Amino acid sequence: MRFLDTSAIVPLCVNEPDSADAKTLLTQDVALVVWWTTRTEFISALQRQVREGGLAVSGERQARDILSLLTQSWIEVQPSETVRSMAERLLAVHTLRAADAFQLAAALQWCQGQTHERCFLSFDIRLREAVYKEGFTLLPLNLPAH
């Protein structure tokens, strides 16, 4: 089971430079855990690509279909006071944006703070550094933690 942030979901659904790595890592373990806002963040990233001309309408439709399949099997960490408090602590400790702090807090909630041998898949460099410092196994391995 692996925690994926939005930066790892997008290349699963849209052809990007990180798509091959993301798809390989997904075939190794298809049990996915995500934060409650991941789907909305994905739609935001998808619409940005459409607006900027990087993705055609047919590509958007295909990406939404893939996302729909993923959402049927993933586990979502729901918002709670515990997640919010953790996110606020993480903002004081790491150089994170609020959305990234919530992603990491959700992952910590999922594993109940026991990060040893828990995998976190992200292509976001700033978030990867915080994830690494919190003790998760970072995937993909070939990207820097900072």
- The pTM of the whole model exceeds 0.85: yes
pLDDT at 100 over 90: yes
Q: Name residues whose C-beta falls within 8 Å of residue 128's C-beta, 6 or more positions apart in sequence.
A: 122, 138, 143, 144, 145, 146
- CA-nearest of 50, 53, 75, 68 to 12 is 68
Nearest-5° angle of CA 19, CA 55, CA 77? 55
> pLDDT, tens digit, for every residue of 45-79?
999 999 999 999 899 999 999 999 999 999 999 99
Q: What is the per-residue DSSP string for 23-39?
A: HHHHHH---EEEETTHH
Cα separation, 56 vs 146, in Å, equals 33
For 2-139, give the CATH class.
alpha beta
Cα separation, 110 vs 35, in Å, equals 9
Domain ranges of the chain: 2-139
- For residues 17 and 13, which has the higher predicted lDDT (pLDDT)? 13
Task: Specify the amino acid at residue 120.
Answer: F
